[in-house]
Amino acid sequence: MSQRLREELLFMAVIVGLMIAALYMSAGYPFNARLMPQVVAIAVLVLLSVEGVLTVRRSRASRASGDAEAGGEHIGDTGNEPVWGAKFRRSAPYMAWLAALYLGIYLIGLMASAAIFTAAFCRLVGKMSWLATLIGTALLMAALFGLTEAFNMRWPVGYFFDPFR
Amino acid sequence: MLAAAFDALTLVLDPSRLVFMLLGISVGLVVGILPGLGGVVGMSLLLPFVYGMDPHAATAMLIGMAAVIATADTFPSILIGVPGSAGSQATILDGYPMAQQGKAGRALSAAFSASLIGGLVGALVLFAILPIARPLVLAFQSPHLFMLTVLGLCVVGLLAGKYPFRGILATLLGIMIAMLGSAPSTVTFRFVGDSVYLMDGIPLAILAMGLFAVPEIIDLLADNRAVSKVKEVSSGWKDGVRDTFRNRWLVLRSAALGVAVGAIPGLGGSVVDWLSYGQAVQSAKDKSGFGKGDVRGVIAPESSNNAKEGGSLIPTMLFGIPGSGTTAVLLGGLILLGIQPGPSMLTSDLSITLTIVWTLALANVVGAFACFLLSRPIARLSTIPASKFAPFLLIVMLVGAYQNTNQWGDLIAFIVIGMLGWLLKTYDWPRAPVLIGFVLAPSIERYLTISASRYGWSWLADPMVIVIGVLAVGVVVAGVRAKRKGLGET
């Protein structure tokens, strides 16, 4: 079984688990509330079992024909390298940036985090000049303050402090 | 109808509303120009801001945004060979070679003028179809609307993505996500546990942004999409416009095809340009230039992908069945504004419908002229690498997400759904059906409840219900067989 197939089946298994949980949880609801989720959950389980079989067949057929692209293995992946792994490795740094932004919002609020995140990202990832970074960040902050005033918007405040509160 | 149309035009041209249409057009131009971002992302960015707005101004803003994306997405397609959105892929085949030959200005002007005509044809057909559709739509009752919605979901599921069952499964997943929160007609909170945030369900804007924008931004950054240098766009503008008028029948034929394809739920977006390109090649006497920089290969897809917007609004507004991810978010926006798509769009909300038609027409004109006038700075904008615009877009999205309920739950839901969208994209599961299933879930449940409570089970024997049901089964069987053949399965 290829790594790609294992990953796809694992993804489907997670959906199966969620649908079984939905069936279990909805059993206690009144008829009108449980009808739709139960019908949908059962339909998902039935269709997913068909799709699971088709996915295995597709994977076998593509391996037999040696057609990596038809089997879903993306161009650029080497051999049996997992798609998720290859893609995740490329995406992980940017997910980490996103996680850092969330941590910043949690700690010091959105406004301050937005300023720091934007400036840092523009400089370190975008390789923008200091001037362009400062102008871009200043414009973004001005837009945020403008929106705050115009629409009386609220932002998440930090757990410890929020310099813009 | 004509009097109502002029009233609607007065509403649209009111400066306090016109400014919102222009705002929508501006956002649409930027979203269209930036490769990888499309109508769903643009709609999702604007959606959080429509709360509490005047319905006419809000619809003008949303439609203005959606209408011009198909015009602006031509820039990256022609200048850098990267589709600005799903509907401009075929434009690359001849547009990019033209740019490489130093004919970028001619290709762009041909594309903009064809887009303008295509968009106007789409708006005209939408307007013309209203009086015809009125008695037809009003004849539908809850059981028929339920079955039509099921049919629409089947079509959307089958046509989206490579694998038919994954499309249908994706619509069902969307419906399931919509089940989170309070159940209609009973005082029950479904699948929420102890979460107060989930009691109102997941907001549509968060689902749309999470599913589409987060994966696109991460992938754009991860691919480190290098953008080539700006091509020369200063010459050949008049030639391009002349090309469009010289090929006027091709423009009109492509526009008609665009409207027809757009009106079929689930088909529009990513196929309309290819179908149109195909018919341009087939109908041409001299086919030798296609793929090497033939202007007809630019004109046909650009005319059809603007016209499809008018077509896709027909099922969205009249039956409440969105034909694409963009119209699904639009549908959600209309519901947020207190407008219920369906028969009421031709009665009590007729002015909104006509506002949409006018906005579609005006936005196409304004969008095309803006592209002509701003082509040089816009051409430079299209070369901005993702790493330079991603942080700004990300902050705007987070701000938009947080405006839904002003709770941390918004931000958590945004990122969780973003990761779900990224996984779906990674494993070739279509995401648009998830959104469409989510938007249609309340309607399906409502139509089913009304049908069951009013007619018992006798509605299942209604002839029209049976016909639509048979049609749905036929569509599924035919679609699965066609896709399996296409994939080379036995």
* Record: contact A57-B218, CB cut-off 8 A: no
> What is the model's pLDDT at position B267?
57
The residue among A9, A14, A65, A91 with the most chain B CBs within 10 A of its CB, best to mutate, is A91
Query: Do residue A51 and residue B423 have CB atoms under 8 angstroms apart?
Result: no
What's the alpha-carbon Rg for chain A, to the nearest Å?
24
Lowest mean pLDDT among A12-21, B36-45, B195-204, B454-463: B36-45
Distance of CA A154 to the CA centre of its chain: 25
Do the Cβ atoms of B218 and A94 come within 8 Å? yes
Cβ of A110 within 8 Å of Cβ of B422? The answer is no
CB–CB contact A125 B444 (8 Å): no
Is B392's CB within 8 Å of A136's CB? yes
CA-to-CA distance for B149 and B451, rounded, in angstroms? 13
Amino acid A121: pLDDT: 92
Choose between B135 and A11: higher pLDDT: A11
CB B167 within 8 A of CB B366: no
Please give the span between the terminal C-alpha atoms of chain A, in angstroms, as a whole number. 55
Question: Cβ contacts of residue A11 below 8 Å, gap of 6+?
Answer: B423, B427
* DSSP collapsed to 3 states, chain A: CCHHHHHHHHHHHHHHHHHHHHHHHHCCCCHHHHHHHHHHHHHHHHHHHHHHHHHHHHHHHHHHHCCCCCCCCCCCCCCCCCHHHHHHHHHHHHHHHHHHHHHHHHHHCHHHHHHHHHHHHHHHCCCCCHHHHHHHHHHHHHHHHHHHHHHCCCCCCCCCCCCCC
Separation CA B97–CA B112 (nearest Å) = 17
Residue B227 has pLDDT above 80, yes or no: no
* Cα–chain center distance at B308: 9
Confidence of residue A12 (pLDDT cuts 50, 70, 90): very high
A23 neighbourhood in chain B, CB within 8 Å: none
Most confident of A17-21, B161-165, B203-207, B440-444: A17-21
* Residue B415 CB-half CA count within 13 A: 18
A29 vs B188: CB contact, 8 Å cut-off? yes
CA distance linking residue B384 with residue A3, whole number of Å? 36
Which residues from B are below 8 Å from A122, CB to CB? 388, 391
| Closest CA in chain B for residue A96 | B218
pTM (two decimals): 0.73
Is B269 in contact with B86 (CB distance < 8 Å)? Answer: yes
> Quick one: pLDDT at residue A74?
42
A8 chain-B contacts, CB cut-off 8 A: 427
Q: Per-residue pLDDT for B356 more than 60?
A: yes
Which of B172, B383, B489 is the mutation pick for testing A, counting most A CBs within 10 A? B172
Closest residue by Cα to residue B363 from B1, B32, B47, B2: B32
What is the model's pLDDT at position A70?
A: 44
| Mean confidence (pLDDT) of chain A | 82
What's residue B379's pLDDT?
66
Question: For A117, which residue in chain B has the nearest alpha carbon?
Answer: B391
Partners of B450 on chain A (C-beta within 8 Å) are: none
State the Cα angle at B156 between B155 and B157, rounded to 5°. 90
* Ranges A129-133, B119-123, B289-293: which has the least confidence: B289-293
Nearest Cα residue in chain B from A112: B395
How far is A88 from chain B, CA to nearest CA, in Å?
Answer: 9
Interchain CB distance below 8 Å, B169 and A101: no
Out of A91, A127, A155, closest to residue B402 by CB: A155
Say whether B116 sits in a helix, a strand or coil. Answer: helix
CA angle B80, B288, B486 (to 5 degrees): 75
Whether residue B429 contacts residue B161, with contact meaning beta carbons closer than 8 Å, is answered with yes
Residues of B within 8 A of A26 (CB-CB) are 190-191
Q: Which helix (H) or strand (E) holds B181?
A: strand B181-182
Contact at CB, A30 and B186, closer than 8 angstroms: yes
pLDDT in tens, B399-414: 878 877 888 899 999 9
Q: How far is A78 from chain B (nearest CA, A)?
A: 16
Instruction: Please give the pLDDT value at position A96.
Output: 92
Q: Are B480 and B167 in contact (CB under 8 A)?
A: no
User: Are residues A33 and B183, on separate chains, in Cβ contact within 8 Å?
Assistant: yes
- Mean pLDDT score of chain B, rounded to an integer? 80
Residues of A in contact with B422 (CB under 8 A): 91
Q: Which residues of B touch A101 (CB under 8 A)?
A: 394, 398
The secondary element (H helix, E strand) that includes residue B24 is helix B15-33
Task: Give the domain extent around B483.
Answer: 2-487
Nearest CB to A30; choose among B163, B188, B218 = B188
Work out the average pLDDT over A21-46: 90
Q: What is the pLDDT of residue B94?
A: 86
Structurally, chain B folds into a number of domains equal to: 1
3-state secondary structure of B206: helix
What pLDDT does residue B226 have?
45
Chain A's closest residue to B179, CA to CA, is A37
Report whether B240 contacts B375 (CB < 8 A): no
- Taking CB atoms and an 8 Å limit, are B427 and A121 in contact across chains? no
Say what the pLDDT of residue A25 is.
Answer: 92
Which residues have C-beta within 8 Å of that of residue B66, sequence separation ≥ 6?
B28, B39, B42, B43, B309, B326, B327, B330
CB atoms within 10 A of CB B429: 26
The verdict on a CB contact (< 8 Å) between A57 and B441 is: no
To the nearest whole angstrom, how far is the Cα of A64 from the nearest Cα of chain B?
13
Q: Could you tell me which chain B residue has the CA closest to the CA of A65?
A: B488
**Which of the pair, A18 or B35, is modelled with greater confidence?**
A18
Testing the interface with B: which of A42, A84, A94 to mutate, by most B Cβ within 10 A? A94
Instruction: State the pLDDT at residue A66.
Output: 62
Can you give the pLDDT at residue B232? 53
- Of B163, B141, B142, B165, the C-alpha closest to B154 is B165
Smallest CA–CA distance, residue B97 to chain A, in Å, is 24
Model confidence over B12-28: pLDDT tens digits?
A: 788 888 888 888 888 88
Structure letter (DSSP) for residue B230: P
pLDDT tens-place string over residues B279-294: 888 788 887 888 888 8
Contact across the interface for B395 and A25, Cβ inside 8 Å: no
Using pLDDT thresholds of 50, 70 and 90, give the confidence band for residue B435: confident
Phi/psi region, residue B190 (left: phi>0; alpha: psi -120 to 50; beta: rest), is beta
Give the gap in angstroms from C-alpha A114 to the nearest C-alpha of chain B: 6
**Helix, strand or coil, per DSSP, at residue B182:** strand
Q: Do B163 and A51 touch (CB under 8 A)?
A: yes
Q: Are A47 and B190 in contact (CB < 8 Å)?
A: no
Give me Rg for the CA atoms of chain B: 22
Closest CA to B438 of A33, A40, A52: A40
CA distance A11 to chain B (A): 8
Whether B488 sits inside 8 A of A70 (CB atoms) is yes
- pLDDT attached to residue B228: 43
A125 neighbourhood in chain B, CB within 8 Å: 221, 387, 390-391
Q: Which pLDDT score is estimated for B218?
A: 85
Summarised one tens digit per residue, pLDDT across range A62-115 is 777 765 444 444 433 334 445 666 777 888 888 899 999 999 999 888 888 999
The larger pLDDT score, comparing residue B142 to residue B461, is at B461
Residue B35 has pLDDT above 50, yes or no: yes
Residues of chain B positioned with their CB less than 8 A from the CB of A128? 388
Query: Does the pLDDT of residue A150 top 90, yes or no?
Result: no
- Residue of B424, B426, B448 to mutate, testing the A interface (most A Cβ within 10 Å of its Cβ): B426
Q: In the predicted model, is pLDDT for residue B195 greater than 50?
A: yes
Q: What is the pLDDT of residue A97?
A: 92
Contact of B297 with B93, CB cutoff 8 Å: yes
Q: Is the per-residue pLDDT at B473 higher than 60?
A: yes
Q: Are B295 and B280 in contact (CB under 8 A)?
A: no
With an 8 Å Cβ cutoff, are B188 and A22 in contact?
A: no
Distance from CA of B58 to the nearest CA of A (A): 15
* pLDDT score for A61: 80
Percent of chain B with pLDDT over 70: 88
**Model confidence over B281-338: pLDDT tens digits?**
878 888 788 888 888 989 998 888 888 888 888 888 877 777 677 788 888 888 888 8
